[in-house]
Amino acid sequence: MADMGPGADKAEKITGSARVYAQLRDEILRLELAPGSPIDENSLSERFDLSRSPVREALVRLSSEGFVNILPNRSTIVAPIDFRDVPKYLDSLDLLQRATTRLAAQFRTTSDLRTIEKLQSEFERAFNKSLKTRDPIYNIDANFNFHMAIAEAGKNAYFQMFYKRLLDEGRRMLHFHFEFQALSEHMSFDEVAVHHVQMIEAIREKDLEHADSVAHEHAMQFKGRFLEYYDQSVTAKMKLAPPT
C-alpha cells in the first residue's frame, strides 16, 4: 500500500491550494466573480472537495496579489475596482513602466534580451488565441510576463516589486482593455504590439531615451483604450428595424 503519511497529506494540501488559487484567479480576471462580491470558504471547500485549510491558503495568496480582500472579521471579498483611483493608477503605471524599461535598456544582459524576445513571441501567439476565442485571459498573462521580464532585466528589485503590484492590480482593467481590442473591427497584432517591438529595439540598442519614450507611449495607449472602452456607447451604432 502506498505511504499516506504526513508527506502525502502535505502534497495534497499544496496541490489543492494551487488548484483553488488558479481557478479563482481565472474567474476574478474574467470578471466572472464580480468586484466586491463575497467569497465563502465553506462553499469553496464543498466545490473543490477540500478542507478549509488549502482554501484559506489560496485566499491568502490571492490577497497578497491584490485579487481579494480579507476583512477583519475574516470574511473575504473580491477586491473592488474603485474607478476614482484610475487616474492615480495610470500615472503610477506610466512612471514605473518608463523606469523599468529605461533600466532594462541600461542593464540588460544577452540572456535577458533573449528572454524578452521569447516572451514577445508568446505574446503574439496569445494575442491570436484571444482573438479567436474572444477571451482576453491569454493576452493578459502573456502581457504580464513580457513586462515583468523587462522589469527583471533592469536589475532593481524594488522597481520590480512595485511594478508587479501595479500589473497585478491592473489585470482586471487589462481585461476591459483587451476585450475592447478584441471587439474592434480593425484590430491587428501589429497595432497592438508595435510598442512591444519598439521596446525590444530600444533595449537591444541600449537606447535609454528611446526606451523611456516608447514606454510612455505604451502607457498612454493603454490609458486611451481603457477610457475609450469606459466611454463607449454599445447602442450608438445599433441598427433597429422600423416598427411594423
Query: What are the pLDDT digits (tens) for 94-134?
Result: 999 999 999 999 999 999 999 999 999 999 999 888 878 87
Spatial distance between the Cα atoms of 202 and 214, rounded to a whole number of angstroms: 9
Q: In this structure, are 191 and 164 located in the same domain?
A: yes
What is the reported pLDDT for 76? Answer: 97
Residue 239 lies in a domain: no
What is the reported pLDDT for 173? Answer: 80
Domain total of the chain: 2
What is the reported pLDDT for 214? Answer: 97
Residue 238 lies in a domain: no
Residue 1 lies in a domain: no
Phi, psi of 51 (to 5 degrees): -70, 170
Owning domain of residue 219: 83-231
What is the reported pLDDT for 128? Answer: 86
Residue 125 lies in a domain: yes
Grid cell locating 230: 469606459
Domain CATH number, residue 126: 1.20.120.530
Q: In this structure, are 41 and 73 located in the same domain?
A: yes
Q: In this structure, are 55 and 169 located in the same domain?
A: no
Q: In this structure, are 87 and 208 located in the same domain?
A: yes
What is the reported pLDDT for 15? Answer: 86
DSSP code string of 16-83: HHHHHHHHHHHHHHTTSS-TT-EE-HHHHHHHHT--HHHHHHHHHHHHHTTSEEE-TTS-EEEPP--G
Q: In this structure, are 51 and 166 located in the same domain?
A: no
Spatial distance between the Cα atoms of 80 and 50, rounded to a whole number of angstroms: 27
Q: In this structure, are 88 and 209 located in the same domain?
A: yes
pTM, entire model = 0.78
Residue 32 lies in a domain: yes
Q: In this structure, are 141 and 100 located in the same domain?
A: yes
- 90, 119, 105: which is closest to 216 by C-alpha? 90
Strands 38-39 and 68-70, bridge-based pairing: unpaired
Q: In this structure, are 116 and 161 located in the same domain?
A: yes
Contact 70, 59 (CB under 8 A): yes
Residue 67 lies in a domain: yes
Residue 236 lies in a domain: no
Contacts of 150 by beta carbon, 8 Å cutoff, 6+ apart: 100, 101, 104, 116, 199, 203
Contact 84, 187 (CB under 8 A): no
What share of the chain in percent tops pLDDT 70? Answer: 81
DSSP class of 84: G
Contact 143, 221 (CB under 8 A): no
What is the reported pLDDT for 180? Answer: 59
Residue 49 lies in a domain: yes
What is the reported pLDDT for 201? Answer: 98
Spatial distance between the Cα atoms of 105 and 113, rounded to a whole number of angstroms: 10
Q: In this structure, are 134 and 74 located in the same domain?
A: no
Low-confidence ranges of the chain (pLDDT < 50): 1-4, 8, 186, 233-236, 238-241, 244
